Structure 1
Amino acid sequence: MSHAAYVFDAYGTLFDVHAAVRRHAGDVGPDYQRVSEMWRAKQLEYSWTRALMGAYADFWQLTEQALDYTLERIGGVDPTLRQKLLDAYWKLDCYPEVPAVLKALKGRGAHVAILSNGSPDMLRSAVDNAALGTVIDDIFSVDALRTYKTAPAVYDLVTTAYRLYPDVVSFQSSNRWDVAGATRFGFRTVWINRAGLPDEYPDLKPSLILPSLESL
């Protein structure tokens, strides 16, 4: 079934959030996977707590704070790597199937967009680095609202901009909590379950579960 718009979460869905640490794995040391996982977990935790408090700080600030916490908590990582890891986050690798999938969807005449917690500069840098600018029509950032997913107003950025009902928008995310929020809003949702994780929100089921974007 074709939809009027295909909207994608950015981090973990189009772009590999673990690419930054993996690029410097040898320098980070044997705990590099733990560093990457904690960095990501804290980045998300900070977005949720700030949204609930109504104390917005943009996603780049949260990314920096999450890395600082992680490096202090885990220890043993050369502090001079901090800036290299942050710089790498601006140029995350996209997943291999992403360019062809987005090109095919755009060829159907649908809107192709990103809806992300990322700040506009972060998202533009990632898109440019992956050479996706010609296949992405719009980048919607929560920065416009100064809050974070899963606030319904975030998903409404898309329906308002495109003047569409939610059920004609297909929303793809690798983050199950994001899929839950988008499902609650009324989007047709696709959970990109790259890691084969168990479901967490049985009352807010996605329309489809895929191991990658390839079958979209």
Structure 2
Amino acid sequence: MKNFRGIVFDLYGTLYNVQSVAGICDQAYPGKGAAMAQLWRQKQLEYTWLRSLMERYVNFETVTDDALRFTCAALELPLEEDMARVLADQYLRLEPHPDTTDALHRLKDAGIPLAIISNGSHKSIAHVVNHSGMGWAFDELISAEDVQVFKPHPKMYELAERRMGHAREHILYVSANGWDASAASLAGYPVCWINRNLGPFDVLGATPMVATEDLGAMADWVLE
């Protein structure tokens, strides 16, 4: 088994499927669910990055709501306030990827401390984890709310190190987002990139320690 003193996971896209909101989007706007989910996520990410650059932090729920309103405007879809709340709340009920639960069980059974670090607020992280029944897995739930800036700002990777209580070189960082994996690697973490889409790694001057197709293969690598 690899000698990591903890593993830190990204939440959105890594453990949980952000495209799982497409179902309720399609119920609200038949035939538009997939396009909505994709653009909504794109704008959600862009707004976290832009707000960090502008030093205008708001919590993740606000970013998600703003991105939804842009998405509906761009796709020329009417958005009533009641529907906006229903759709935005779906980000609190994301479905875990099929490989998530088994991989976490195996790592937890091996005695490895596990954590989530996310751009989500404390409320949103807790809702997602508790809704999926996976609170048992995590020793720490680490939120951007504590530093008032979003990943990939270096403060987020410093926060993970402090909360885990070990030097970052002894903490495995796991993310399916190439930009996040790059930032963690540049910050000094050993990184496993979950290459779910079998695409190229972002060209940002960093290289992950290992890349796997899913969390199951990541757990295999850690435990071998």
TM-score, length basis structure 1: 0.94
1:153-204 per-position Cα deviation (integer Å, ceiling 9, x unaligned)? 1111121123311111111111100001000011111111111222222620
- Give the structure 2 partner of residue 73 of structure 1: 74
Root-mean-square deviation (Å): 1.5
Q: CA deviation at 1:77?
A: 5.2
2:43 touches 2:67 (CA, 8 Å); kept in 1? yes
Which residue matches 1:20?
21
Task: State how 1:1-216 maps to structure 2 within 5 Å.
Answer: 1-76=2-77, 79=80, 81-201=83-203, 203-216=205-218
Q: Percent identity?
A: 28
User: What secondary structure sits across from 2:116 in the alignment?
Assistant: strand
Tell me, what secondary structure is at the counterpart of 1:18? helix
Deviations 1:128-177 (A, max 9, x none): 01111111111000100000111111111121123311111111111100
How far the C-alpha of 1:26 sits from its partner, in A, is 3.8
User: Does the 8 Å contact 1:6/1:105 carry over to 2?
Assistant: no
Distance 1:56 1:18, change over 3 A: same
> Which amino acid in the other structure matches residue 94 of structure 1?
P
Aligned partners of 1:2 and 1:77: how far apart in 2?
A: 53
Q: Which segments of 5 or more consecutive residues in structure 1 lack a partner in the other structure?
A: none
Structure 2 SS opposite 1:194: coil
SS of aligned partner of 1:215: helix
Q: Secondary structure at the match of 1:206?
A: coil
**Hey, what's the Cα distance between the residues in 1 that align with 2:79 and 2:143?**
33
Are the counterparts in 1 of residues 182 and 202 from structure 2 also a CA contact under 8 Å? no
Unaligned runs of 5+ in 2: 219-224
Q: Which amino acid aligns with 1:18?
A: Q
Aligned partner letter, 1:51? S
1:46–1:108 CA distance, 2 compared to 1 (3 A): same
Is 1:28–1:77's contact at 8 Å kept on the other side of the alignment? Answer: no
Judge conservation of contact 1:174–1:191 (CA < 8 Å) in 2.
yes
2:221 equivalent in structure 1: none
| Structure holding more helix per residue | 2
Deviation, 1:2, is 3.5
Q: CA deviation at 1:83?
A: 2.6
Structure 1 segments, 4+ long, off by >3 Å, are 76-81
